[in-house]
Amino acid sequence: MKKIVSSFLAALLCLSLSAPAALAYYGPFDGRTAVSSNMWTGMALGLNNFRRIRDYYPGTYSDVPAGAWYEEGLRTLYERGLTENGGKFGPQSRVSLGEVVSLAVLLHRTYNSWSMPEGMSSLQYALNTGIVTEDQYDDYTAPATRRSFAAIMAKALPSEALRGMNIVMDGAIPDVPMTDPGAQGIYRLYRAGVLEGGDLQGTFRPDNMVTRAAAAVITARMVEPALRQGTTLMNIRSYQVYLDRTGMVLSPGQADRLTATVYPINNLMEQQVSWTSSEPRTAVVDHNGVVTAIQPGTALIIASTPSGTMATCSVRVMDWY
């Protein structure tokens, strides 16, 4: 592995609560940590493992002013035992790639209630679990960019812990094309509400360095879904039509309505949706999207716009008698 030497691996293993530059505790859980091992015994897997175990008070960190934009995130991590016990936090300090790896490992182990095998470094754990790959980064002592932070942290928790809550189309983040090496992780965290853009267009600035303040906010959203942010980013280079559902089951004579939404909404002509049925003998649809079942069978209801974009809903008509 490029530029990774044994002395660095040893240093990474030894990061602890006492190091002011470390965002969180990076060693294995044991009786010496702020979170004792018996607290995790019998606990269900998942986000419930990030339980509140202590209280945060203004002044817990001497360099964190009350009401700072990142204080809520820091409070969330502190109360769950994921940050050092107090003193100075260093909100504007940069975070290294090695520290991001260790933080991701901490989240991964806590979520799964896994212990760190004796003598194993955070980096080796991350390699074993796929959080990072062998040749992903050249130098783990280098500062982490927003791109690399997202790429690593997106693999710290499984998909069920990062469920999509936002519509973020491929290519919709202005400065993150799908060819970007960090696109997969960035889009995953945008869709989960963990990341949000710095402006109305959702600009991410992937090459900017990550500060401890920003890392605290993002990590807090990962462990506490209530903090996640809602956003919608559509690819403005093309129009897309969406239906409120993709399947419908009706009985003969029964009717139900489909709702179509066209993005972006800045073109009135494109909002004129046309409705058709592939099998009018089975089901018909009117100009308002109301589907009426005629006889048993299957039909495809198609919503289309003047530019040719479309969405479909499969309608199954069943005779229940």
pLDDT the model gives residue 12? 37
Q: Are residues 122 and 262 in the same domain?
A: no
Residue 181 lies in a domain: no
* Structural domain includes residue 191: no
Same domain, 264 and 152: no
Strands, DSSP E only, in 135-273? Answer: 167-168, 232-233, 240-243, 247-250, 255-257, 260-263
Task: Give 319's pLDDT tier (boundaries 50, 70, 90).
Answer: confident
Report the SS3 class of residue 96.
Answer: strand
CA distance linking residue 262 with residue 193, whole number of Å: 22
Q: Are residues 92 and 29 in the same domain?
A: yes
Instruction: Tell me: do 146 and 291 sit in the same domain.
Output: no
Q: With contact defined as beta carbons under 8 Å apart, do 221 and 228 qualify?
A: yes
Q: Is residue 183 part of a domain?
A: no
Q: The CATH number of the domain where 312 resides is what?
A: 2.60.40.1080
Query: Is 148 found in the same domain as 27?
Result: yes
Residue 189 CB partners (closer than 8 Å, separation 6+): 150, 153, 154, 162, 195, 218
Q: What is the pLDDT of residue 171?
A: 84
Task: Please tell me whether residues 223 and 244 are part of one structural domain.
Answer: no
Q: CB-based burial of residue 145 (10 Å sphere; 0-12 exposed, 13-18 middle, 19+ buried)? A: buried
The answer to whether residue 4 scores a pLDDT higher than 90 is no
Are 208 and 261 within one domain?
no
State the average pLDDT for the chain.
Answer: 83
Domain boundary among 170, 195, 228: 228
Looking at the domain assignment, is residue 266 inside a domain? yes
Residues 262, 210 share a domain: no
Identify whether residues 211 and 262 lie together within a single domain.
no
Q: Which amino acid is at 292?
A: T
Q: What is the CA radius of gyration of the chain?
A: 25
Q: Are 263 and 239 in contact (CB under 8 A)?
A: yes
**Claim to verify: residue 45 and residue 106 sit in the same structural domain:** yes
Indicate whether 15 pLDDT > 60. Answer: no
Reported confidence tier of residue 240, pLDDT bands at 50, 70, 90? confident
H or E segment to which residue 11 belongs: helix 6-13
* Residue 7 neighbours by CB distance under 10 Å: 8
Do 223 and 116 fall into the same domain? Answer: yes
CB-based contact 214:70 (threshold 8 Å): yes
Residues 210 and 246 in one domain: no
Query: How many domains, in total, are found in the chain?
Result: 2
> Residues 259-274, buried b or exposed e (16+ Cβ, 10 A)?
ebebbeeeeeebeebe
* Helix H or strand E encompassing 188: helix 183-191
* Residue 197 within any structural domain of the chain: no
Residue 172 to residue 174: CA distance in whole angstroms: 6
Choosing from 193, 228, 263, the residue where a domain stops is: 228
What does the DSSP 8-state code read for residue 99?
Answer: H
The better pLDDT of the pair 228, 31 is held by: 228
Task: Examine residue 112 and state whether it is found in any structural domain, yes or no.
Answer: yes
pLDDT at site 242: 86
Domain for residue 195, yes or no?
Answer: no
Q: Distance between CA 203 and CA 216 in Å, rounded?
A: 20
CB 60 within 8 A of CB 66: no
**pLDDT surpasses 90 at 19:** no
215 assigned to some structural domain: yes
Q: What is the mean pLDDT of residues 299-303?
A: 93
DSSP β-ladder status, 274-277 and 297-304:
antiparallel
Domain that holds residue 137: 6-160+203-228
